[in-house]
Amino acid sequence: MTHLAADLFAISPKHVAVASTGVIGVPLNIAAIESGMEALGNSLQGDEAGHAAALEAIMTTDTRKKEGSVELEIGGKKIRLGGMLKGAGMVHINMATMLCFVTSDAALTPGALDYCLRRAVRRSLNRVTVDGDTSTNDTIILMANGQAGNEELKPGSPGCEAFALALESLLVKLSRALARDGEGATKLLSITVSGAKDEGSAEKLAKSVASSSLVKAAFFGADANWGRILCAMGYSGADFDPAQVDVVFASEGEEVAVCRNGSSLEFSEDLAKGILSREEVEVKIKAGSGSGTATAWGCDLTYDYVKINGDYRS
């Protein structure tokens, strides 16, 4: 595939990257791909219509298109970033069956691009889970052409830090969209842990809660079963004191506290059910008095997830 594309556009094969998903273990029909290369090349468009066609072409079990953009100014020059993503199932902490393509007009050294991408992915796509399963294919590609005309950014420079933050904000937007479009999902879950010993501990705790099948099932049923959240925190491997844990459910400006200092609170079940029935729900967890904070994103676990994956090949 690399050489077919390189020959078509008269470029070096090293400038072609291949990304694919599909049924694991089934070889791609290269003959069909080869016969379609000319038509593919003729169909390319460098405008909004081309972007929309590419975004739709990479969708598989996705039900929503996932895209985003961000702008910032560095050294008096406007910098733009845009991204598109596909993914809905077999999505867990190490990205998994996900393809993400990001472009920018910024000028950066390869080292700066590598630094920014790795940092941004760690705080975004590597904090997303849909079903606890990882796959054999996952790809994110970041390309920058330098046409913004800014002074080339190097690792450690203020401009590089600004670019890294902008990239992170873009990938967080795409991560949220990925979690919301999880196979069979009806709602997006944002799990934010604060007060942990450090960021790494907060991340472990948030990921563990977002990954719990029992927690995900409870949210599908709009059941304020906060004990499952503490249970998931307990097996996370992170060091924390359960007696200092507070849990709050929030959505659309409303919130309900269900746990304080590791113990149950009296709360309105009707209010809690109303909050947990909405499309986006935030779980705010205070794990202690430390400075560590992190957010992970997930979705509920529904009957449709089993239906989709029970006969995936057919």
Q: What share of the chain is helix, strand, coil (3-state, %, to 5)?
A: 40, 25, 40
The Cα–Cα gap between 69 and 104 comes to 10
| Eight-state DSSP code of residue 99 | E
Which parts of the chain fold into alpha helices (H)?
2-9, 30-35, 37-43, 48-57, 110-122, 158-180, 199-211, 213-220, 227-234, 269-276, 303-310
**Among candidate residues 204, 200, 181, the one with its CA nearest the CA of residue 191:** 204
Q: Are 28 and 136 in contact (CB under 8 A)?
A: no
In this structure, which amino acid lies at residue 170? L
How open is the CA angle 195-206-112, to the nearest 5 degrees? Answer: 90
Cβ contacts of residue 20 below 8 Å, gap of 6+?
Answer: 28, 137
The Cα–Cα gap between 92 and 131 comes to 7
The Cα–Cα gap between 72 and 197 comes to 33
**Among candidate residues 61, 291, 297, the one with its CA nearest the CA of residue 179:** 297
Question: How crowded is residue 81: how many other Cβ atoms within 10 Å of its Cβ?
Answer: 22
Q: Are 190 and 283 in contact (CB under 8 A)?
A: yes
293 is annotated as an active-site residue = no
| Eight-state DSSP code of residue 240 | -
| Eight-state DSSP code of residue 15 | G
Q: Which of these is catalytic: 21, 61, 97, 302?
A: 97
Catalytic residues: 97
